[in-house]
Amino acid sequence: MLAKEIQLEVNKGAMLPLMEEFYTIQGEGFHTGTAAYFIRIGGCDVGCHWCDVKESWNAELHPPTKINQIVDNAAKYADTIVITGGEPLMWDMGLLTSSLKEKNLKVHIETSGAYPLSGTWDWICLSPKKNKLPTDTVYANADELKVIIYNKHDFIFAEEQAEKVNKKAKLFLQPEWSKKEEMTPLIVDYVMNNPKWRVSLQTHKYLNIP
């Protein structure tokens, strides 16, 4: 249990459970290949069985950290900051994103969309999950829809999600990492037959970078 004062700071988004931060190359989706500083916020209750960062799920394992400290540090590294998790939208992203934007940084989010949108974003990557579907505010504002393909049924799920997201969103299919040998060739065929979709790979894993 957090002390009451700290809990109040977390509730208003002035402190957030920080898991890790790292400067790397965006490995996935529309901005693949571009330098970005990643901030990973702990806490997620969506429960994807193939999640590649299960250590993030329990927010209590990650120290509540003042956003000023997070922002001052991030500004040293890059012009683009990616907020990920865990599920960042479990927390109020308002103060974090406004403080980053005050420093003229571009602010991107990686989200399942399972919670209502908070914060001001330059780019929203929505990766919807069957277990806990996105909220309307995230469908309406996503710049990118990135559906993970673990099995053949996920292509049907992807089309259902493409119907729900706003029409300006770019559409991506990304193989689940442990199934990539089986699923990547299916994704390649699918995109050639349905060219509104694009392929996204977790290129940072091929590059052996964070």
Ligand X SMILES: Nc1nc2[nH]cc(C(=O)O)c2c(=O)[nH]1
Establish if 204 lies at the interface with ligand X (CB under 6 A): yes
Contact between residue 84 and residue 31 where contact means Cβ atoms under 8 Å apart: no
Establish if 43 lies at the interface with ligand SAM (CB under 6 A): no
Instruction: Tell me whether residue 6 or residue 179 sits nearer to ligand SAM (CB atom).
Output: 179
Q: Is 17 annotated as a binding residue?
A: no
| DSSP-assigned states of every residue in 75-132 | TTT-SEEEEEES-GGGS--HHHHHHHHHTT-EEEEEE---S---S--SEEEE--BTTB
Which stretch, 23-31, 94-102, 165-173, 176-184, contacts ligand X (CB under 6 A)? 23-31
Q: How crowded is the C-beta side of 65, counted as CA atoms within 13 Å?
A: 21
Instruction: Tell me whether residue 99 or residue 109 sits nearer to ligand SF4 (CB atom).
Output: 109
Q: Is 51 annotated as a binding residue?
A: yes
Q: Is 177 annotated as a binding residue?
A: no
Task: Report the residue from 9, 87, 143, 176 that binds ligand SF4 according to the rule CB under 6 A.
Answer: 87
Q: Residue 141 belongs to what H/E stretch?
A: helix 136-141
Contact between residue 43 and residue 89 where contact means Cβ atoms under 8 Å apart: no
**Residue 176 contact among ligand SAM, ligand SF4, ligand X, none, beta carbon within 5 to 8 Å by kind:** ligand SAM
Q: Look at the alpha carbons of 142, 165, 93, 29 in this order and tell me if their dihedral is positive or negative.
A: negative
Taking CB positions, which residue lies at the least distance from ligand SAM? 127
Task: Report the residue from 13, 17, 27, 119 that binds ligand X according to the rule CB under 6 A.
Answer: 27
Instruction: Tell me whether residue 9 or residue 19 sits nearer to ligand SF4 (CB atom).
Output: 19
Both tokens of 113, joined, read 């969309």
Task: Give how many residues touch ligand X by CB under 6 A.
Answer: 10
Measured between alpha carbons, how far apart are the two ends of the chain, in Å?
31
Instruction: Tell me whether residue 39 or residue 158 sits nearer to ligand X (CB atom).
Output: 39
The interface with ligand SF4 within residues 126-145 (CB under 6 A) comprises: 129
Instruction: Count CB-CB contacts under 10 A for residue 14.
Output: 18
Q: Is 40 annotated as a binding residue?
A: yes
Q: Residue 197 belongs to what H/E stretch?
A: strand 197-199
**For binding to ligand SF4 (CB under 6 A), which residues are involved?**
44, 46-48, 51, 53, 56, 85-87, 112, 129
**For binding to ligand X (CB under 6 A), which residues are involved?**
24-28, 38, 84, 110, 204, 210
